[in-house]
């Protein structure tokens, strides 16, 4: 059933470049090479950034793990010297990592984990996966193979005896493992002092052997038990440390292992970061920066987040979806060549061809822009390419500035709203981002209610502290946001600062008052504090100042910066990717729905007038398989084949009725029979029916509904 086709050696081309496939459909519209290069560089940038983020997030966890390993190992060594606690030495130190249900992301975590361990603790690490170890024998083989490879990698000695070790993988037992370990450690001890220094400075004396079980849940219990029991017997000769990767909850250890086995383990739990936090940092770093020229539209982002939250919780899939967006955007949109850093924009705009300029003129957002101009300018815009190019440059710069302002103001607003009770605008910054992209924020009810809340309920001293905190965040972010074109930020800051000062003054006065009354008793103190509170509340001016200040901040920042992109910014098509349907059908497809519509309503696909029918009734001109399907929908669980055939032939005959001649009815019958057989076997292949043994000549339905 397998056929290999090799290209004939004459025609063999060295390698097709991927870029060649990029723009074959719209051949000469623009420079596909450049577009592809932009796409690739963008993607690479994103990829490296996400990996970096992942590493940073896991750092805490890994540090804990490393210290745990160090500690347990040193303890173990102490114990081996003390003969008194011999019984205790049978315990294996174990770290249980609770990783969460997103299995797809675990690979990366484990890879970086083993790297970290390799650098800090031990060269001997084995990663075991459940699919490689159906039995204890395979497990031991795999373990040995990996450990020996590890040592070869790290030591990179001239290995005369390693070769023979790796070839004799057949007889892998615990004793040979121990022998190997002793030989390795001995070798390390007897090495030249210089070498020893390098190794021992990095690793501990007689480093532990770390065995990582990637997916604890899918191991068979027997294998795990056997392995644990065996290795616990040899723990003194072979310092083992186990790490379990657990997807569900730590209870699984106890349900997988009986008490006698789990008592051999000395378990410590480690919790990994929840995937939601991971996602929010990714969104924070990837989407809410001005650095990346590529942006996601609201609907696309919504789809991606929905897939994440409702289906798989996998950050990896989120990034994959993001990649698909980039590819689609650069592939389908000819103007995406301009989607680059601001530095390159000028060059690229100047090198635009005439066709490209036409493309730009055809953009709906650009049309709107033109309509708003004066008539002479309109004419030059529509006819002269050079003038158009200048305008485009300016517009793109505007877009960039808009993004910068948008991000920082969005963060500011997030600090405000996230401290409100009940979070009317959402708890996470991504929700706020979506809300702002979707519509004009200031027209929504949620925004209105959050304003109400901020104005009325939160008008206490803690709001002020929160404001100060918010300012701090804002200061740090504004420092990074280098070329702020608007000076508004500073304006904000000064406003904030005056507020701060006023508040501090009051603080000073409070403390001085306190000092005066130092000697009074508690009751008095309370009383004066209450009085102070009263007086603070009665200070109408400061309160009013705060309120007004808030309103100013909101209105100022919002009206100017929070415009909906699709609505107000020209040329947003270049930067925003907004076709959510593509994403949905490629990432999250529904084969059953496709089959259902194709069978129920073939008109969707075959555009023939004869197939048009009001839903429910069987059109007798539909393809055979559709007729058979509809007829089978009308039956119960078991279908009689003979009746089915009868019904089928009636329908088909009525379709052919007008033009069928009576003479060849026998032959027609045969043909109909054959078509019926074909249709039925196709339905069987598709999984709608299966042959049933309960009654002769019956088939069983495997789907529900219909009638």
Partner 1 sequence: QQTLHDLLKKAPLAYAAEIQELNQQHESLFSKWMLQLHLGFNIVLYGLGSKRDLLEKFRTSMLQDSVHLVVNGYFPSITVRSILNSITEEVLDHIGTFRSPLDQLEFIIRRFKEDSSLELYVLIHNLDSQMLRGERSQQILAQLSSLPSIYLIASVDHINAPLMWDQAKLSLYNWLWYETTTFSPYVEETSYENSLLVQQSGSLASSSLTHVLHSLTLNARGIFRLLAQYQLENKDNPSYPGLPFHDFYQQCREAFLVNSDLTLRAQLTEFRDHKLIRTKRGADGVEYLLIPVDDSTLADFLEKEDEDV
Using CB under 8 A, which residues numbered 256 to 315 contact partner 1? 312, 314
Q: For residue 582, what are its two tokens?
A: 């593509």
Q: Parallel, antiparallel, or unpaired for β 689-691 and 698-701?
A: antiparallel
Report helix, strand or coil for 563. coil
Which range binds partner 1 by CB under 8 A, 10-18, 195-203, 385-393, 486-494? 10-18
Q: Let me know: does 125 contact 117? Beta carbons within 8 Å.
A: yes
Can you tell me which of 591, 616, 636, 658 binds partner 1, judged by CB under 8 A? 591
Q: Which residue, 454 or 699, has its beta carbon nearer to partner 1?
A: 699
CA distance 523 to 679: 92
Contact flags string 162-201 toward partner 1, x per CB under 8 A:
----------------------------------------
Q: Which of residues 418-457 bind partner 1 (CB under 8 A)?
A: none
531, with CB counted inside 10 A (0-12, 13-18, 19+), is exposed
Nearer residue to partner 1 within complex by CB, 81 or 696: 696
Measured torsion, CA atoms of residues 662, 665, 671, 676, in degrees rounded to the nearest 10: 100
| Token output for 403 | 């993004």
Nearest distance from C-beta of residue 129 to partner 1, angstroms: 10
3-state secondary structure 379-394: HHHHHCHHHHHHHHHH
Query: Among residues 227, 265, 212, which one has the least CA distance to residue 134?
Result: 227
- Identify residues 213-252 at the interface with partner 1 (CB under 8 A): 215
24 forms part of the interface with partner 1 (CB under 8 A):
yes
For partner 1, the closer CB: 279 or 453: 279
The piece of 55-63, 219-227, 357-365, 620-628 that touches partner 1 (CB under 8 A) is 620-628
- Shortest approach of partner 1 to residue 645 CB, angstroms? 9
| C-alpha separations of 674 from 13, 234, 625, 679 in Å | 47, 70, 12, 9
The residues near 439 (Cβ < 8 Å, ≥ 6 apart) are 564
- Cβ 611 vs Cβ 621: under 8 Å: yes
Least distance between partner 1 and beta carbon 4 (Å): 4
Nearer to partner 1 by C-beta: 436 or 622? Answer: 622
Does an H or E element contain 638, and which?
strand 638-640
3-state secondary structure 127-152: EECHHHCCCHHHHHHHHHHHHHHHHH
Four-point Cα dihedral 312, 314, 315, 317, nearest 10: -70
Q: Which of 98, 564, 598, 653 binds partner 1 (CB under 8 A)?
A: 598
Q: Sign of the C-alpha dihedral, residues 303, 304, 309, 313?
A: positive
Query: Among residues 69, 103, 148, 489, which is the contact residue for partner 1, using CB under 8 A?
Result: 103
**Interface residues for partner 1 in 470-529 (CB under 8 A)?**
none
Provide the mask over 107-136, with x wherever binding to partner 1 is found by CB under 8 A and - wherever it is not. Answer: x-----------------------xx----
CA distance linking residue 2 with residue 117, whole number of Å: 43
Question: How far is residue 314's CA from residue 612's CA, in Å, rounded to a whole number?
Answer: 42
Nearest Cα neighbor of 559 from 461, 436, 691, 375 is 436
Closer to partner 1 at the Cβ: 180 or 644? 644
Q: Of residues 621-640, which lie at the interface with partner 1 (CB under 8 A)?
A: 621, 623-625
CB of 599 to partner 1, least distance (A): 6
Q: Indicate which single residue of 13, 259, 354, 519 sits in contact with partner 1 (rule: CB under 8 A).
A: 13
Concatenated DSSP letters of 401-458: HHHHHHHHHHHHHHHHHHTSTT-TT-SSHHHHHHHHHHS-GGGSHHHHHHHHHHHHTT
Nearer to partner 1, 246 or 429 (CB): 246
From 14-22, 67-75, 334-342, 357-365, span contacting partner 1 (CB under 8 A):
14-22
User: Using CB under 8 A as the criterion, what x/- string covers residues 318-357 for binding partner 1?
Assistant: --x--xx--x---x--------------------------
Is residue 50 at the binding interface for partner 1, with CB under 8 A as the rule?
A: no
| Least gap, CB of 363 to partner 1 (angstroms) | 23
CB 381 within 8 A of CB 571: no
606 binds partner 1 (CB under 8 A): yes
Decide if residue 368 touches partner 1 (CB under 8 A): no
Does residue 316 interact with partner 1 by CB under 8 A?
A: yes
6, 171, 347, 480: which one binds partner 1 (CB under 8 A): 6
| Number of residues located near partner 1, criterion CB under 8 A | 75
How near is the Cβ of 682 to partner 1 at its closest, in Å?
5
Question: Quick one: which of 387, 461, 697, 706 contacts partner 1 (CB under 8 A)?
Answer: 697
Closer Cβ to partner 1, 6 or 540, answer by number: 6
Query: CB 228 → partner 1: shortest distance, Å?
Result: 23
User: How would you write 460-520 as a 3-class SS string?
Assistant: CHHHHHHHHHHHHHHHHHHHHCCCCCCCHHHHHHHHHHHHHHHHHHHHHHHHHHHHHCCCC
CA distance 52 to 58: 10
Shortest reach from residue 40's CB to partner 1, in Å: 9
**Which parts of 659-688 interact with partner 1 (CB under 8 A)?**
670-671, 673-675, 677-678, 680-682, 684-688
């Amino acid at each position: 059933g397998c056929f290999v086709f090799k290209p004939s050696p004459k025609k063999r081309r060295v390698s097709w470049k991927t870029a060649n496939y990029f723009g074959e459909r719209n051949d000469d519209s623009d420079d596909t090479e450049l577009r592809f290069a932009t796409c690739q560089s963008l993607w690479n940038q994103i990829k490296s950034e996400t990996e970096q983020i992942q590493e940073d997030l896991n750092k805490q966890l890994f540090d804990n793990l490393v210290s745990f390993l160090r500690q347990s190992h040193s303890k173990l060594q102490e114990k081996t010297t003390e003969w008194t606690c011999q019984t205790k030495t049978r315990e294996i130190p174990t770290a249980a990592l609770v990783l969460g249900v997103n299995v797809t992301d675990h690979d990366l975590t484990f890879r970086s984990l083993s790297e970290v361990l390799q650098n800090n603790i031990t060269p001997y690490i084995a990663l075991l996966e459940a699919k490689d170890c159906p039995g204890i024998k395979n497990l031991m083989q795999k373990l040995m193979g990996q450990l020996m490879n590890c040592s070869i990698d790290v030591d990179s000695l001239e290995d005369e005896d390693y070769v023979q070790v790796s070839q004799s993988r057949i007889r892998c037992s615990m004793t040979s493992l121990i022998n190997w370990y002793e030989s390795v450690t001995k070798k390390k001890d007897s090495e030249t002092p210089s070498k020893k220094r390098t190794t021992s400075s990095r690793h501990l004396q007689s480093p532990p052997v770390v065995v990582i079980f990637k997916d604890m849940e899918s191991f068979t219990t027997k294998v795990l038990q056997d392995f644990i029991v065996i290795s616990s017997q040899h723990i003194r000769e072979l310092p083992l440390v186990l790490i379990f990767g657990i997807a569900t909850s730590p209870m699984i250890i106890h349900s997988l292992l009986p008490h006698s086995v789990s008592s051999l383990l000395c378990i410590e739990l480690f919790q990994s970061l929840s995937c939601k936090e991971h996602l929010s940092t990714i969104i924070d770093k990837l989407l809410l920066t001005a650095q990346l020229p590529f942006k996601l539209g609201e609907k696309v982002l919504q789809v991606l987040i929905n897939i994440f939250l409702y289906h798989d919780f996998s950050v990896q899939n989120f990034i994959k979806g993001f990649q698909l967006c980039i590819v689609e955007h650069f592939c389908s949109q000819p103007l995406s060549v301009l989607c680059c850093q601001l530095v390159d924009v000028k060059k690229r705009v100047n090198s635009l061809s005439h066709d490209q300029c036409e493309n730009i003129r055809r953009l709906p957002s650009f049309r709107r822009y033109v309509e708003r101009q004066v008539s002479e300018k309109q004419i030059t815009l529509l006819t002269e390419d050079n003038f158009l190019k200048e305008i485009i440059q300016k517009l793109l710069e505007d877009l960039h500035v808009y993004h910068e302002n948008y991000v920082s103001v969005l963060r500011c607003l997030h600090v405000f709203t996230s401290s409100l009770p009940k979070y009317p605008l959402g708890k996470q910054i991504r929700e706020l981002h979506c809300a702002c992209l979707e519509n004009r924020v200031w027209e929504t009810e949620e925004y209105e209610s959050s304003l109400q809340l901020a104005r009325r309920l939160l008008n206490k001293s803690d709001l002020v502290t929160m404001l100060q905190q918010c300012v701090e965040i804002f200061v740090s972010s504004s420092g990074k946001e280098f070329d702020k074109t608007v000076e508004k930020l500073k304006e904000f800051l000064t406003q904030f600062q005056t507020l701060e000062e006023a508040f501090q003054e009051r603080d000073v006065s409070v403390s001085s008052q306190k000092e005066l009354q130092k000697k009074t008793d508690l009751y008095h103190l309370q009383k004066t504090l209450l009085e102070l509170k009263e007086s603070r509340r009665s200070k109408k001016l400061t309160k009013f100042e705060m309120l007004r200040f808030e309103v100013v901040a909101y209105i100022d920042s919002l009206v100017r910066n929070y415009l909906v992109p699709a609505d107000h910014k020209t040329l947003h098509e270049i930067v925003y990717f907004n076709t959510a349907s593509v994403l949905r059908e490629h990432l999250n497809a529904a084969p059953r729905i496709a089959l259902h519509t194709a069978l129920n309503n073939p008109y969707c696909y075959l555009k023939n007038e004869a197939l048009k029918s009001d839903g429910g009734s069987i059109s007798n001109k539909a393809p055979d398989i559709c007729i058979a399907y509809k007829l089978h929908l009308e039956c119960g669980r078991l279908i009689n084949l003979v009746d089915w055939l009868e019904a089928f032939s009636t329908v088909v005959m009525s379709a052919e009725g007008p033009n069928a001649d009576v003479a060849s009815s026998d032959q027609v019958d045969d043909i109909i029979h054959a078509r019926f057989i074909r249709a039925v076997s196709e339905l069987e292949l598709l999984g709608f029916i299966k042959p049933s043994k309960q009654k002769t000549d019956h088939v069983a339905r495997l789907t529900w509904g219909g009638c």
